[in-house]
Structure 1
Protein backbone atom coordinates (compact mmCIF):
# COMPACT_ATOMS: atom_id res chain seq x y z
CA UNK A 1 0.00 0.00 0.00
CA UNK A 2 1.33 3.39 -1.03
CA UNK A 3 -0.15 6.47 0.62
CA UNK A 4 0.30 10.13 1.46
CA UNK A 5 -0.80 11.85 4.66
CA UNK A 6 -1.73 15.50 4.41
CA UNK A 7 -3.40 18.02 6.67
CA UNK A 8 -2.86 21.24 8.57
CA UNK A 9 0.25 21.60 10.74
CA UNK A 10 -0.75 20.19 14.13
CA UNK A 11 -3.43 17.90 12.66
CA UNK A 12 -1.66 14.83 14.03
CA UNK A 13 -0.24 13.43 10.77
CA UNK A 14 3.05 12.38 12.33
CA UNK A 15 1.37 10.56 15.20
CA UNK A 16 -1.05 8.78 12.86
CA UNK A 17 1.74 7.96 10.37
CA UNK A 18 3.68 6.28 13.18
CA UNK A 19 0.63 4.24 14.25
CA UNK A 20 -0.20 3.29 10.66
CA UNK A 21 3.39 2.28 9.96
CA UNK A 22 3.22 -0.16 12.87
CA UNK A 23 -0.28 -1.37 12.00
CA UNK A 24 0.47 -1.94 8.29
CA UNK A 25 4.16 -2.80 8.74
CA UNK A 26 5.20 -0.15 6.24
CA UNK A 27 7.98 2.43 6.39
CA UNK A 28 6.98 5.93 7.51
CA UNK A 29 8.82 8.44 5.34
CA UNK A 30 8.86 11.96 6.71
CA UNK A 31 10.53 14.70 4.70
CA UNK A 32 11.66 16.31 7.96
CA UNK A 33 13.44 13.07 8.87
CA UNK A 34 14.94 12.86 5.37
CA UNK A 35 16.32 16.38 5.70
CA UNK A 36 17.81 15.63 9.11
CA UNK A 37 19.35 12.33 7.93
CA UNK A 38 20.91 13.85 4.81
CA UNK A 39 22.28 16.75 6.86
CA UNK A 40 23.67 14.40 9.52
CA UNK A 41 25.23 12.19 6.81
CA UNK A 42 26.69 15.31 5.15
CA UNK A 43 25.38 14.27 1.73
CA UNK A 44 25.49 16.79 -1.09
CA UNK A 45 21.69 17.05 -0.96
CA UNK A 46 21.82 17.51 2.81
CA UNK A 47 24.41 20.27 2.64
CA UNK A 48 22.40 22.09 -0.03
CA UNK A 49 19.19 21.74 1.99
CA UNK A 50 20.98 22.98 5.11
CA UNK A 51 21.89 26.28 3.46
CA UNK A 52 18.21 26.97 2.76
CA UNK A 53 17.04 25.81 6.18
CA UNK A 54 19.67 27.89 7.99
CA UNK A 55 18.59 31.00 6.09
CA UNK A 56 14.93 30.37 6.97
CA UNK A 57 13.91 29.54 3.41
CA UNK A 58 11.94 26.58 2.11
CA UNK A 59 14.06 23.85 0.58
CA UNK A 60 13.47 23.93 -3.21
CA UNK A 61 11.29 21.19 -4.66
CA UNK A 62 14.07 19.68 -6.76
CA UNK A 63 16.15 18.98 -3.63
CA UNK A 64 13.17 17.52 -1.76
CA UNK A 65 12.13 15.40 -4.76
CA UNK A 66 15.70 14.09 -5.10
CA UNK A 67 15.73 13.03 -1.43
CA UNK A 68 12.34 11.31 -1.77
CA UNK A 69 13.47 9.61 -5.00
CA UNK A 70 16.55 8.32 -3.20
CA UNK A 71 14.48 7.05 -0.26
CA UNK A 72 11.88 5.37 -2.48
CA UNK A 73 14.72 3.44 -4.12
CA UNK A 74 15.35 1.52 -0.88
CA UNK A 75 14.33 -2.14 -0.63
CA UNK A 76 11.96 -1.65 2.31
CA UNK A 77 9.42 0.31 0.23
CA UNK A 78 8.72 -2.48 -2.26
CA UNK A 79 5.47 -3.44 -0.48
CA UNK A 80 4.47 0.14 0.21
CA UNK A 81 5.12 3.27 2.27
CA UNK A 82 3.52 6.15 4.12
CA UNK A 83 4.67 9.60 2.97
CA UNK A 84 4.30 12.37 5.56
CA UNK A 85 5.07 15.96 4.55
CA UNK A 86 5.45 15.29 0.84
CA UNK A 87 4.24 16.32 -1.64
CA UNK A 88 3.26 19.84 -0.64
CA UNK A 89 2.61 21.25 -4.11
CA UNK A 90 1.07 20.01 -7.35
CA UNK A 91 4.50 20.19 -9.02
CA UNK A 92 5.91 17.86 -6.33
CA UNK A 93 2.85 15.60 -6.72
CA UNK A 94 3.44 15.36 -10.46
CA UNK A 95 7.11 14.53 -9.88
CA UNK A 96 6.05 11.83 -7.40
CA UNK A 97 3.43 10.45 -9.80
CA UNK A 98 6.08 10.19 -12.52
CA UNK A 99 8.58 8.54 -10.18
CA UNK A 100 6.03 6.00 -8.97
CA UNK A 101 4.81 5.16 -12.46
CA UNK A 102 8.41 4.32 -13.40
CA UNK A 103 9.07 2.16 -10.34
CA UNK A 104 6.57 1.19 -7.65
CA UNK A 105 3.13 1.82 -9.13
CA UNK A 106 0.50 4.47 -8.37
CA UNK A 107 -0.61 5.69 -4.97
CA UNK A 108 -3.47 3.84 -3.30
CA UNK A 109 -4.75 6.62 -1.06
CA UNK A 110 -4.23 10.18 0.12
CA UNK A 111 -5.43 10.72 3.68
CA UNK A 112 -6.33 14.32 4.44
CA UNK A 113 -6.52 14.97 8.19
CA UNK A 114 -9.08 17.68 8.89
CA UNK A 115 -9.22 19.68 12.11
CA UNK A 116 -10.52 23.10 13.02
CA UNK A 117 -8.08 25.98 13.05
CA UNK A 118 -8.85 26.45 16.75
CA UNK A 119 -7.74 22.87 17.45
CA UNK A 120 -4.53 23.48 15.51
CA UNK A 121 -3.92 26.72 17.43
CA UNK A 122 -4.47 24.95 20.75
CA UNK A 123 -2.20 22.02 19.84
CA UNK A 124 0.61 24.17 18.45
CA UNK A 125 0.52 26.72 21.28
CA UNK A 126 0.63 23.83 23.77
CA UNK A 127 3.96 22.70 22.29
CA UNK A 128 5.51 25.80 23.81
CA UNK A 129 7.87 26.60 20.94
CA UNK A 130 9.08 30.19 20.82
CA UNK A 131 8.14 30.58 17.14
CA UNK A 132 4.61 29.21 17.68
CA UNK A 133 2.77 32.46 18.33
CA UNK A 134 -0.88 32.99 17.46
CA UNK A 135 -0.04 35.28 14.50
CA UNK A 136 2.70 33.01 13.13
CA UNK A 137 0.46 29.95 13.35
CA UNK A 138 -2.44 31.75 11.62
CA UNK A 139 -0.08 32.82 8.82
CA UNK A 140 1.14 29.22 8.40
CA UNK A 141 -2.44 28.00 8.26
CA UNK A 142 -3.41 30.57 5.62
CA UNK A 143 -0.43 29.65 3.44
CA UNK A 144 -1.06 25.95 3.93
CA UNK A 145 -4.72 26.26 2.91
CA UNK A 146 -3.81 28.24 -0.22
CA UNK A 147 -1.20 25.68 -1.29
CA UNK A 148 -3.06 22.53 -0.25
CA UNK A 149 -6.35 23.03 -2.10
CA UNK A 150 -4.81 22.41 -5.57
CA UNK A 151 -2.95 19.38 -4.18
CA UNK A 152 -6.18 17.86 -2.85
CA UNK A 153 -7.83 18.50 -6.21
CA UNK A 154 -4.91 16.72 -7.95
CA UNK A 155 -5.52 13.63 -5.79
CA UNK A 156 -9.33 13.86 -5.64
CA UNK A 157 -9.87 10.36 -7.08
CA UNK A 158 -7.96 8.69 -4.21
CA UNK A 159 -8.64 11.22 -1.45
CA UNK A 160 -9.99 10.11 1.94
CA UNK A 161 -10.95 12.85 4.37
CA UNK A 162 -10.26 11.92 8.00
CA UNK A 163 -11.83 13.74 10.95
CA UNK A 164 -8.71 14.30 13.09
CA UNK A 165 -10.54 15.85 16.06
CA UNK A 166 -10.50 13.88 19.29
CA UNK A 167 -8.32 11.25 20.92
CA UNK A 168 -5.42 9.65 19.06
CA UNK A 169 -6.96 6.16 19.27
CA UNK A 170 -10.31 7.39 17.89
CA UNK A 171 -8.60 9.07 14.93
CA UNK A 172 -6.57 5.90 14.27
CA UNK A 173 -9.79 3.86 14.21
CA UNK A 174 -11.26 6.30 11.65
CA UNK A 175 -8.10 6.00 9.53
CA UNK A 176 -8.18 2.20 9.49
CA UNK A 177 -11.91 2.21 8.67
CA UNK A 178 -11.43 4.73 5.83
CA UNK A 179 -8.58 2.71 4.34
CA UNK A 180 -10.67 -0.45 4.55
CA UNK A 181 -13.51 1.26 2.69
CA UNK A 182 -11.16 2.82 0.15
CA UNK A 183 -9.42 -0.45 -0.65
CA UNK A 184 -12.43 -2.77 -0.39
CA UNK A 185 -12.50 -5.26 -3.29
CA UNK A 186 -16.19 -4.49 -3.85
CA UNK A 187 -15.41 -0.90 -4.76
CA UNK A 188 -15.17 -0.24 -8.50
CA UNK A 189 -11.66 0.52 -9.67
CA UNK A 190 -9.82 -1.22 -6.82
CA UNK A 191 -7.61 -4.24 -7.11
Structure 2
Protein backbone atom coordinates (compact mmCIF):
# COMPACT_ATOMS: atom_id res chain seq x y z
CA UNK A 1 0.00 0.00 0.00
CA UNK A 2 1.02 3.60 -0.64
CA UNK A 3 -0.34 6.18 1.80
CA UNK A 4 -0.37 9.82 0.73
CA UNK A 5 -0.59 12.47 3.46
CA UNK A 6 -2.40 15.70 2.55
CA UNK A 7 -2.83 18.75 4.73
CA UNK A 8 -1.90 22.35 5.33
CA UNK A 9 1.43 23.29 6.91
CA UNK A 10 1.08 22.61 10.64
CA UNK A 11 -1.57 19.90 10.19
CA UNK A 12 0.67 17.26 11.78
CA UNK A 13 1.47 15.15 8.71
CA UNK A 14 5.12 14.56 9.61
CA UNK A 15 4.43 13.51 13.19
CA UNK A 16 1.59 11.16 12.26
CA UNK A 17 3.35 9.85 9.15
CA UNK A 18 6.33 8.68 11.19
CA UNK A 19 3.99 7.19 13.80
CA UNK A 20 2.10 5.21 11.13
CA UNK A 21 5.30 4.05 9.47
CA UNK A 22 6.54 2.57 12.74
CA UNK A 23 3.18 1.12 13.75
CA UNK A 24 2.33 -0.41 10.36
CA UNK A 25 5.92 -1.33 9.36
CA UNK A 26 5.88 0.88 6.27
CA UNK A 27 8.65 3.00 4.78
CA UNK A 28 8.39 6.76 5.35
CA UNK A 29 9.47 9.26 2.72
CA UNK A 30 9.15 13.04 2.93
CA UNK A 31 9.89 15.50 0.16
CA UNK A 32 12.18 17.36 2.55
CA UNK A 33 14.32 14.23 3.04
CA UNK A 34 14.38 13.56 -0.70
CA UNK A 35 15.38 17.09 -1.64
CA UNK A 36 18.11 17.27 1.01
CA UNK A 37 19.54 13.96 -0.17
CA UNK A 38 19.61 15.10 -3.81
CA UNK A 39 21.29 18.39 -2.90
CA UNK A 40 23.87 16.80 -0.55
CA UNK A 41 24.87 14.29 -3.24
CA UNK A 42 25.29 17.21 -5.68
CA UNK A 43 23.15 15.51 -8.30
CA UNK A 44 22.02 17.58 -11.33
CA UNK A 45 18.46 17.78 -9.99
CA UNK A 46 19.82 19.24 -6.75
CA UNK A 47 21.50 22.10 -8.57
CA UNK A 48 18.27 22.87 -10.41
CA UNK A 49 16.36 22.86 -7.13
CA UNK A 50 18.84 25.28 -5.58
CA UNK A 51 18.48 27.56 -8.58
CA UNK A 52 14.69 27.71 -8.19
CA UNK A 53 14.87 28.14 -4.40
CA UNK A 54 17.42 30.96 -4.59
CA UNK A 55 15.05 32.81 -6.94
CA UNK A 56 12.08 32.24 -4.62
CA UNK A 57 10.33 30.07 -7.20
CA UNK A 58 8.40 26.81 -6.73
CA UNK A 59 10.16 23.71 -8.03
CA UNK A 60 8.34 22.68 -11.27
CA UNK A 61 6.09 19.63 -11.11
CA UNK A 62 8.06 17.74 -13.77
CA UNK A 63 11.27 18.05 -11.74
CA UNK A 64 9.55 17.01 -8.50
CA UNK A 65 7.99 14.00 -10.25
CA UNK A 66 11.39 12.96 -11.59
CA UNK A 67 13.01 13.12 -8.15
CA UNK A 68 10.18 11.28 -6.39
CA UNK A 69 10.06 8.53 -9.01
CA UNK A 70 13.82 7.99 -8.63
CA UNK A 71 13.26 7.28 -4.93
CA UNK A 72 10.19 5.10 -5.50
CA UNK A 73 12.27 2.78 -7.67
CA UNK A 74 14.52 2.00 -4.68
CA UNK A 75 13.93 -1.33 -2.94
CA UNK A 76 13.12 0.42 0.35
CA UNK A 77 10.12 2.27 -1.11
CA UNK A 78 9.08 0.16 -4.08
CA UNK A 79 6.40 -2.01 -2.48
CA UNK A 80 4.99 0.18 0.30
CA UNK A 81 5.48 3.72 1.42
CA UNK A 82 4.03 6.65 3.32
CA UNK A 83 4.53 9.81 1.26
CA UNK A 84 4.66 13.11 3.15
CA UNK A 85 4.64 16.29 1.06
CA UNK A 86 3.97 14.56 -2.25
CA UNK A 87 1.83 14.81 -4.28
CA UNK A 88 1.09 18.52 -3.78
CA UNK A 89 -1.18 19.09 -6.78
CA UNK A 90 -3.46 17.30 -9.20
CA UNK A 91 -0.78 16.75 -11.86
CA UNK A 92 1.51 15.06 -9.34
CA UNK A 93 -1.33 12.87 -8.03
CA UNK A 94 -2.12 11.65 -11.54
CA UNK A 95 1.58 11.04 -12.23
CA UNK A 96 1.85 8.91 -9.09
CA UNK A 97 -1.20 6.87 -10.07
CA UNK A 98 0.31 6.25 -13.50
CA UNK A 99 3.61 4.96 -12.09
CA UNK A 100 2.64 2.56 -9.31
CA UNK A 101 0.35 -0.46 -9.32
CA UNK A 102 -0.09 -0.71 -5.54
CA UNK A 103 -3.21 0.53 -3.81
CA UNK A 104 -3.09 4.25 -2.95
CA UNK A 105 -4.91 5.77 0.02
CA UNK A 106 -4.88 9.52 0.63
CA UNK A 107 -5.31 10.81 4.18
CA UNK A 108 -6.54 14.40 4.41
CA UNK A 109 -5.59 16.16 7.65
CA UNK A 110 -8.41 18.69 8.01
CA UNK A 111 -7.26 21.48 10.33
CA UNK A 112 -8.26 25.07 11.06
CA UNK A 113 -5.84 27.74 9.87
CA UNK A 114 -5.64 29.22 13.39
CA UNK A 115 -4.49 25.94 14.97
CA UNK A 116 -2.10 25.18 12.09
CA UNK A 117 -0.41 28.58 12.44
CA UNK A 118 -0.12 28.19 16.21
CA UNK A 119 1.56 24.82 15.81
CA UNK A 120 4.09 26.23 13.33
CA UNK A 121 4.87 29.41 15.25
CA UNK A 122 5.23 27.48 18.51
CA UNK A 123 7.52 24.68 17.36
CA UNK A 124 11.19 24.38 18.24
CA UNK A 125 13.76 21.58 18.33
CA UNK A 126 16.69 20.39 20.38
CA UNK A 127 19.86 21.57 18.66
CA UNK A 128 21.63 18.29 19.50
CA UNK A 129 19.17 15.40 18.93
CA UNK A 130 16.53 17.36 16.93
CA UNK A 131 13.65 16.24 19.19
CA UNK A 132 10.69 18.50 18.30
CA UNK A 133 8.70 20.48 20.88
CA UNK A 134 5.98 23.13 20.85
CA UNK A 135 5.57 25.96 23.32
CA UNK A 136 1.76 25.61 23.18
CA UNK A 137 1.34 21.82 23.16
CA UNK A 138 4.52 19.92 23.98
CA UNK A 139 7.04 21.61 26.23
CA UNK A 140 10.03 19.66 27.62
CA UNK A 141 9.19 17.92 30.91
CA UNK A 142 11.86 20.04 32.61
CA UNK A 143 11.97 23.66 31.41
CA UNK A 144 14.72 24.32 28.87
CA UNK A 145 16.12 20.77 29.11
CA UNK A 146 15.65 18.25 26.28
CA UNK A 147 13.80 15.09 27.41
CA UNK A 148 15.97 12.89 25.20
CA UNK A 149 19.57 14.08 25.46
CA UNK A 150 19.55 16.65 28.29
CA UNK A 151 20.78 19.51 26.12
CA UNK A 152 19.74 23.09 26.96
CA UNK A 153 20.21 24.36 23.40
CA UNK A 154 17.16 24.75 21.16
CA UNK A 155 16.61 26.03 17.62
CA UNK A 156 13.71 27.43 15.57
CA UNK A 157 13.25 27.01 11.83
CA UNK A 158 14.17 30.20 10.01
CA UNK A 159 11.05 30.02 7.81
CA UNK A 160 8.63 29.71 10.73
CA UNK A 161 7.47 33.33 10.61
CA UNK A 162 3.97 34.67 9.96
CA UNK A 163 4.66 36.18 6.52
CA UNK A 164 6.17 32.96 5.19
CA UNK A 165 3.41 30.87 6.77
CA UNK A 166 0.66 32.97 5.17
CA UNK A 167 2.33 32.55 1.77
CA UNK A 168 2.63 28.78 2.24
CA UNK A 169 -1.02 28.55 3.31
CA UNK A 170 -2.17 30.41 0.20
CA UNK A 171 -0.06 28.21 -2.09
CA UNK A 172 -1.45 25.13 -0.37
CA UNK A 173 -5.07 26.19 -0.91
CA UNK A 174 -4.55 26.92 -4.61
CA UNK A 175 -2.58 23.76 -5.39
CA UNK A 176 -4.11 21.14 -3.15
CA UNK A 177 -7.91 21.56 -3.24
CA UNK A 178 -8.33 20.06 -6.76
CA UNK A 179 -6.18 17.10 -5.69
CA UNK A 180 -8.34 16.46 -2.63
CA UNK A 181 -11.41 16.36 -4.86
CA UNK A 182 -9.61 14.01 -7.24
CA UNK A 183 -8.92 11.47 -4.49
CA UNK A 184 -12.46 11.88 -3.18
CA UNK A 185 -13.90 11.16 -6.64
CA UNK A 186 -11.65 8.08 -6.92
CA UNK A 187 -12.92 6.85 -3.53
CA UNK A 188 -9.36 6.90 -2.15
CA UNK A 189 -9.73 9.74 0.38
CA UNK A 190 -9.81 9.28 4.15
CA UNK A 191 -10.34 12.38 6.32
CA UNK A 192 -9.13 12.91 9.87
CA UNK A 193 -9.90 15.82 12.19
CA UNK A 194 -6.40 17.23 12.68
CA UNK A 195 -7.63 19.81 15.21
CA UNK A 196 -7.58 17.03 17.82
CA UNK A 197 -4.68 16.16 20.10
CA UNK A 198 -1.79 14.05 18.82
CA UNK A 199 -2.87 10.81 20.52
CA UNK A 200 -6.48 11.20 19.35
CA UNK A 201 -5.35 11.71 15.77
CA UNK A 202 -3.08 8.65 15.96
CA UNK A 203 -5.94 6.51 17.27
CA UNK A 204 -8.29 7.76 14.53
CA UNK A 205 -5.75 7.02 11.80
CA UNK A 206 -5.24 3.45 12.96
CA UNK A 207 -9.02 2.91 12.98
CA UNK A 208 -9.35 4.32 9.46
CA UNK A 209 -6.58 2.13 8.08
Normalising by structure 2, report the TM-score: 0.78
The aligned runs of 1:78-97 (5 Å cut-off) are 78-97=78-97
Counterpart residue number, 1:51: 51
Counterpart of 2:194 (choices 151, 164, 174) is: 164
Distance in 2 of aligned mates of 1:65 and 1:78: 15
Q: Which runs of 5+ in 2 are unaligned?
A: 124-155
CA RMSD of aligned residues (A): 1.5
What is the SS of the residue equivalent to 1:109? strand
Q: Which runs of 5+ in 1 are unaligned?
A: 180-191
Question: Per residue, is there more helix in 1 or in 2?
Answer: 1
Quick check: 1:118 aligned with 2:146?
A: no
Q: Structure 2 vs 1, CA of residues 130 and 40 (structure 1 numbering), >3 Å: closer, same or farther?
A: closer
Distance in 1 of aligned mates of 2:164 and 2:200: 29
Normalising by structure 1, report the TM-score: 0.85
Maintained 8 Å contact 1:3/1:81:
yes
Q: Structure 2 vs 1, CA of residues 76 and 108 (structure 1 numbering), >3 Å: closer, same or farther?
A: same
Q: Which runs of 4+ in 1 moved over 2 A?
A: 127-140
Maintained 8 Å contact 1:53/1:59:
yes
Quick check: 1:174 aligned with 2:204?
A: yes
Aligned residues: 175
